[in-house]
Amino acid sequence: MQILNETEVAEMLRCTNVALRRWRREGRGPRFIRVGRLIRYRLPDVEEFLESNASSSRAASNASGQSQGQPKADLKAEGEASRVVGGSRVN
């Protein structure tokens, strides 16, 4: 079993370490292992994350050519609405 550190996974995913940390907080990124204060990733978990997020241009578009997902503005608003500060939900 190959174990990767945060920097190695960030390089594989072409993202920053900060993005990986944010994804962990939000429960969106690849599965990880906490060893004391260290964060580690198993290669199969990272590969599974990539596969589960893969899409083709055909699958991502409907017949009218528009994306099937929510517009980016809606996603941002949804994320902001679900933010919790000091135990209280903030809009």
pLDDT in tens, 2-60: 999 999 999 999 999 999 999 999 999 999 999 999 999 999 999 999 999 998 766 55
**Residue 55: what pLDDT?**
86
On whether the pTM is more than 0.75, the answer is: no
- Count of beta carbons in the 10 Å neighbourhood of residue 30: 23
Q: Cα torsion for 21, 24, 30, 35, to the nearest 10°?
A: 80
What's the whole-number mean pLDDT along residues 68-80? 43
3-state secondary structure 41-57: EEHHHHHHHHHHCCCCH
pLDDT (0 to 100) of residue 61: 52
CA distance 50 to 63: 26
Q: Which residue has the higher pLDDT, 80 or 55?
A: 55
User: DSSP class of residue 67?
Assistant: B
What is the predicted pLDDT for the residue at 62?
54
Domains of the chain: 1-54 (1.10.10)
Q: What is the pLDDT of residue 52?
A: 94
